[in-house]
Amino acid sequence: MKRLITEAELRKLSRGARVAVDRDTLVTPAARDYALWSGVLLVDASAPPAAEACCCTGCAASGGSCGTSPAACGGGVALPKLGEGDWLVEVRGSAVTVRRVGP
């Protein structure tokens, strides 16, 4: 039987909470959007647990680690500082492309 995850369910969770998603899980578009902006992590239930590592750009540049987990940094995805305006963020596999939309 399929399991449904909605935005309302994710709103009950705190930032950094992990929700296992497998092939029998349906996630509404609103739930995916909420997870992205709230810091709730939708993780592949079949994948081995990822090691917690620092995701700070300063630590990555110096080769050090402050011990901040990827969950605390919004899932470990480091986006460039974006100015005011509309942006398109595209994710293919593990590659992230950010483009400004419009003038």
Distance (Å, rounded) from C-alpha 103 to C-alpha 99? 11
DSSP H or E run through 9 = helix 7-10
Q: Where are the domains of the chain?
A: 1-49
Q: What tens digit of pLDDT does each residue of 61-98 get? A: 445 455 554 444 544 555 567 777 787 777 776 677 77
Q: What tens digit of pLDDT does each residue of 44-56 get? A: 887 666 544 445 5
The overall average pLDDT reported for the chain is 73
Q: Considering only CA atoms, which of 70, 35, 75 is closest in space to residue 54?
A: 70
Amino acid making up residue 22: D
Q: What is the mean pLDDT of residues 32-61?
A: 69
* Alpha carbon separation from 40 to 6, 61, 95 (Å, rounded): 12, 26, 20
Distance (Å, rounded) from C-alpha 89 to C-alpha 15? 21
